[in-house]
Amino acid sequence: EVQLVESGGGLVKPGGSLRLSCAASGFTFSNAWMSWVRQAPGKGLEWVGRIKSKIGGGTTDYAAPVKGRFTISRDDSRNTLYLQMNSLKTDDTAVYYCTRELDWLFYNWGQGILVSVSS
Amino acid sequence: EIVMTQTPLSSPVTLGQPASISCRSSQSLVHSDGNTYLSWLQQRPGQPPRVLIYRISNRFSGVPDRFSGSGAGTDFTLKISRVEAEDVGVYYCMQATQFPFTFGPGTKVDIK
């Protein structure tokens, strides 16, 4: 069974930093393309960024609102995906979901982790 | 960036009756490989989203056959043939034809 478990969320002040982790199991993580998707309270879904598998090039892509502030990385030896978030803004307040991309779909989703940015 | 719109944004339905949601993209979702990467996701209250339909009309594993998808180009539809209580939630269309992947605003389905 595929499992994606996010951790590391919480309350942070504007301008602060936070690192989210996503522990993956039930599939070959090193072969997976992984994305972060977020959902502001009461709002819709927004793709944040993606990292390809190393065999796929290992490159990252980011949505315009987070480019230059957020960094996605992976540790295939630990089956873990990361989202480093710097210079956080109140608009970044959201539930952040870790997802596995497959066949042009967000195939599997974690339960999500809340990040609150507030003074 | 491709903009996705949905109508209606809210859909109160009677149990056992059909429901229909429309999704429109700002440009054609036909990929250069010939596929159309339009999917539908369901988000039940308090749950993460899950895939219902992919590539316009293919039901994801475990999805009941009361859910169906149709459409082409820029106009797509999700239909629920007979709404059940467990179908309450928000439904999103999503395109993966062009990067960045984008979502519609969501349609809230609840019971009258």
Average pLDDT over residues B24-38: 97
- The pLDDT value given to residue A5: 98
Give the residue from chain A lying closest to B96, CA to CA: A104
Q: Which segments of chain A have a pLDDT < 70? A: none
Rounded to an integer, the average pLDDT of B18-39 is 97
- Asked if residues A49 and A66 have their Cβ atoms less than 8 Å apart, the reply is yes
| Chain A contact set for B39 (CB, 8 A) | 104-105
- pLDDT per residue as tens digits for the range B42-73: 999 999 999 999 999 999 999 999 999 999 99
Check CB contact under 8 Å for A109 and B94.
no
Mutation choice for A interface testing from B35, B97, B101 by most A CBs within 10 A = B101
* Polymer length in residues for chain B: 112
Separation in Å, CA A20 to CA A32, A59, A74, A119, B23 = 18, 19, 11, 20, 32
Confidence of residue B95 (pLDDT cuts 50, 70, 90): very high
Residues 6+ apart with CB under 8 A from B64: none
Contact residues, chain A to chain B, C-beta under 8 Å: 35, 44-47, 61, 63, 97, 103-107, 109-112
Residues in chain B with CB shorter than 8 Å from the CB of A103 are 54
pLDDT of residue A14: 97
B40 within 8 A of B95, measured Cβ to Cβ: no
| Size of the A and B interface in Cβ pairs below 8 Å | 46
The tokens describing A107, both together, are: 């195939």
A6–chain B nearest CA distance, Å: 12
Closest-CA residue of chain A to B48? A111
Q: What pLDDT was estimated at residue A28?
A: 97
The helix, strand and coil proportions of chain A, stated in percent and rounded to the nearest 5, come to: 5, 55, 40
CA-nearest of A119, A107, A99, A115 to A40 is A115
Asked if residue B99 has pLDDT above 90, the reply is no
d(CA A119, CA A90): 9
